[in-house]
Amino acid sequence: MATANDTLTITDNRTGKTYEVPVEDGTIRATALRDIKVNESDFGVMSYDPAFMNTASCRSAVTYLDGENGVLEYRGYPIEQLAEHSTYLEVAYLLVHGELPNAKQLDEWTNKITTHTFVHENVKSFIQGFRYDAHPMGMLLASVGALSTFYPDANQIKDPEIRYLQIIRLIAKMPTLAAFAYRHNMGQPYVYPDNDLRYPGNFLSMLFKMSELKYEPDPRLERALDILFILHADHEQNCSTSAVRAVGSSQVDPYSAVAAGIAALYGPLHGGANEQVLRMLRRIERKENVPDFIAGVKEGKERLMGFGHRVYKNYDPRAKIIKKACDDVFEVTGVNPLLEIAMELEKIALEDEYFVKRKLYPNVDFYSGLIYEALHMPVGMFTVLFAIPRTSGWISQWLEMIDDKEQKIARPRQIYTGERNRDYIPLDKR
Ligand code: CMC
């Protein structure tokens, strides 16, 4: 609770004036700095924070993250407990609604998601238009954006019922679009959803079903995929979530806002890192090559992908759970030979002063690719496998933003560093 002493006293040495700024939740409002002026015509002081290193952009009750201590909670529930006891669909309900469902609510939710897994037939022809080797993330990005054209009323974002329907559709259709993108790359016919299967099992069916009448997912692999989905469901104000919030703040429909999130996730410093980890491990080839590779990283030639995090300065709790899930998957599929290289990289990096000093630990992407590969996913699909579950996080954050009275269209300021007041020079005089 705020007390009278919860203020920050700022003295402007340019004018000698003193200002008292309230501190709430360890934060001052950047707009409070605008009162600090040299004279009346002065705009006031701004805060400069490239890459949002120290700026809270919202109040959120979705995900709690303590990077120093490696803690991650969805709606207050520790990620470890959710990964052990819950399912992705239950977690998605928790993120969207704020509470765990009772049995009836879970049943209704599961039923709704399951009955919205099909996509309009035209989506198939849309995906068919891509080149045979199109990156699946590019196809997912485009097809999610295209969904807004199939549901034009989705732009009525103030209507809670319409909004809720788009949430169901997004969570339900994401695996279908992802699987269609995969089958397109493989040159295989698209497989329609099987609504008798659970969420991850249906996804595996749409990916891998061939001529058999019914695809029977291995329950151990299905569970491993479900755990990966739980771990990736939300991560507070990361790059892609901030993109969804920023784009959504213009009041565009949620498909377009989520497409912006997918675009942000695609990048190699964000969700695209899992793909890069696998490529890196393949390039290192053998355990004996690890020391040379680490030396190159320390010389700044490249980054150790899957290591480091803007917020975690400790072992990423998701990486710990994934490392354990690797054992369960490898029991079914046999050990991925790249695991040995990954473990050697981790061992050397965790002892090396370069990484220790910078608090660089394995993040969620370091081991997830090994599981995806064991599940026979091509590397191009790895980030898609991140986007599917992150949809529930994006949409929960979007929903929270829509209802937040303090939010307006996102519009940062700049410090202008360019030329001023130049006269146009005709072409023949330049
Ligand atoms: N390998 C080698 N050095 C690194 C790495 C790395 N993976 N990450 C950070 N550093 C160094 C960096 O060079 C810098 O050193 P110096 O102070 O000497 O200049 C210092 O550590 C701080 O790095 P930074 O780039 O200022 O840190 P950041 O918070 O801006 O970047 C990051 C965070 C995740 C982008 C970065 O750690 C990175 O590029 N990691 C590799 C890519 C990766 O695994 N991304 C997945 C992130 S987790 C899941 C997700 O977000 O999708």
Within a domain: 421: no
pLDDT of 5: 82
Kindly state whether residues 3 and 73 are assigned to the same domain.
Answer: no
Kindly state whether residues 232 and 252 are assigned to the same domain.
Answer: yes
**CA nearest to 234, candidates 14, 27, 347, 387:** 387
- The pLDDT confidence band at residue 230, using thresholds 50, 70 and 90, is very high
- The pLDDT confidence band at residue 231, using thresholds 50, 70 and 90, is very high
- Contact indicator for 260, 243 with CB cutoff of 8 Å: yes
Which residues pair with residue 21 across a beta bridge? 8
**CA nearest to 174, candidates 144, 146, 204:** 144
Atom 36 of ligand 1, residue of closest alpha carbon: 308
**CA nearest to 243, candidates 144, 340, 160:** 144
- Contact indicator for 44, 37 with CB cutoff of 8 Å: yes
Kindly state whether residues 41 and 81 are assigned to the same domain.
Answer: no
Q: What are phi and psi of 395, to 5 degrees?
A: -75, -30
Within a domain: 312: yes
272 lines ligand 1 (CB under 6 A): no
User: How far, in Å, from the CA of 46 to the mean position of ligand 1?
Assistant: 27
Kindly state whether residues 392 and 339 are assigned to the same domain.
Answer: yes
237 lines ligand 1 (CB under 6 A): no
- Contact indicator for 307, 293 with CB cutoff of 8 Å: no
Within a domain: 413: no
- Tally the residues of the chain: 430
Kindly state whether residues 41 and 189 are assigned to the same domain.
Answer: no
387 lines ligand 1 (CB under 6 A): no
**Which atom of ligand 1 has the smallest separation from the CA of 386?**
52
Q: Give percent of the chain above pLDDT 90.
A: 89
pLDDT surpassing 70 at residue 2: no
- In terms of residue numbers, what domain contains 358? 65-405
Q: 153 an active-site residue?
A: no
Q: Which of 270, 328, 352, 404 is catalytic?
A: 270
Among candidate residues 17, 38, 56, the one where a domain is terminated = 56
Tokens of 57: 């952009």
How many CB atoms are located within 10 Å of the residue 64 CB? 16
pLDDT of 384: 97
- pLDDT top residue among 304 and 326: 304
Kindly state whether residues 116 and 38 are assigned to the same domain.
Answer: no
Within a domain: 192: yes
Kindly state whether residues 30 and 173 are assigned to the same domain.
Answer: no
Kindly state whether residues 27 and 145 are assigned to the same domain.
Answer: no
- pLDDT top residue among 376 and 127: 127
Q: Compute the mean pLDDT over every residue in the chain, rounded to the nearest whole number.
A: 95
Tokens of 89: 């669909």
Tokens of 335: 């050990």
3 state SS of 72? strand
Q: What sign has the CA pseudo-torsion 268, 273, 276, 280?
A: positive
82 lines ligand 1 (CB under 6 A): no
- Contact indicator for 410, 365 with CB cutoff of 8 Å: no
Tokens of 383: 């980030």
Extended beta strands in 33-191, E state: 63-66, 71-74, 77-78
Q: Give percent of the chain above pLDDT 70.
A: 99
For residue 190, give the amino acid letter. Answer: Y
Kindly state whether residues 2 and 79 are assigned to the same domain.
Answer: no
Output the domain CATH number for residue 118: 1.10.580.10
124 lines ligand 1 (CB under 6 A): no
User: How far, in Å, from the CA of 308 to the mean position of ligand 1?
Assistant: 5
Kindly state whether residues 15 and 93 are assigned to the same domain.
Answer: no
Question: What is the separation, in whole angstroms, between the first and last Cα of the chain?
Answer: 63
Within a domain: 414: no
Kindly state whether residues 116 and 218 are assigned to the same domain.
Answer: yes
pLDDT surpassing 70 at residue 191: yes
Q: What element of type H or E holds 178?
A: helix 160-186
For residue 282, give the amino acid letter. Answer: R
**Which atom of ligand 1 has the smallest separation from the CA of 308?**
37
294 lines ligand 1 (CB under 6 A): no
Region 261-279: mean pLDDT is 93
pLDDT of 324: 86
CA distances from 33 to 17, 29, 42, 46, 187 (A): 13, 7, 12, 6, 58
Within a domain: 415: no
Region 39-65: mean pLDDT is 97
Distance of CA 354 to the CA centre of its chain: 27
Within a domain: 420: no
Total structural domains within the chain: 2
- pLDDT tens, 305-331? 999 999 998 889 999 899 888 888 998
Q: What's the CA gap between 42 and 37, in Å, rounded? A: 6
Query: With the CA atoms of 412, 413, 418 and 421 taken in that order, what torsion angle do they form, in degrees rounded to the nearest 10?
Result: 120
- pLDDT tens, 272-298? 899 899 999 999 999 999 999 999 999
Within a domain: 384: yes
Q: 309 an active-site residue?
A: yes
pLDDT surpassing 90 at residue 4: no
**pTM here?**
0.94
Kindly state whether residues 401 and 264 are assigned to the same domain.
Answer: yes
pLDDT of 1: 54
3 state SS of 294? helix
- The pLDDT confidence band at residue 141, using thresholds 50, 70 and 90, is very high
- pLDDT tens, 55-113? 999 999 999 999 999 999 999 999 999 999 999 999 999 999 999 999 999 999 999 99
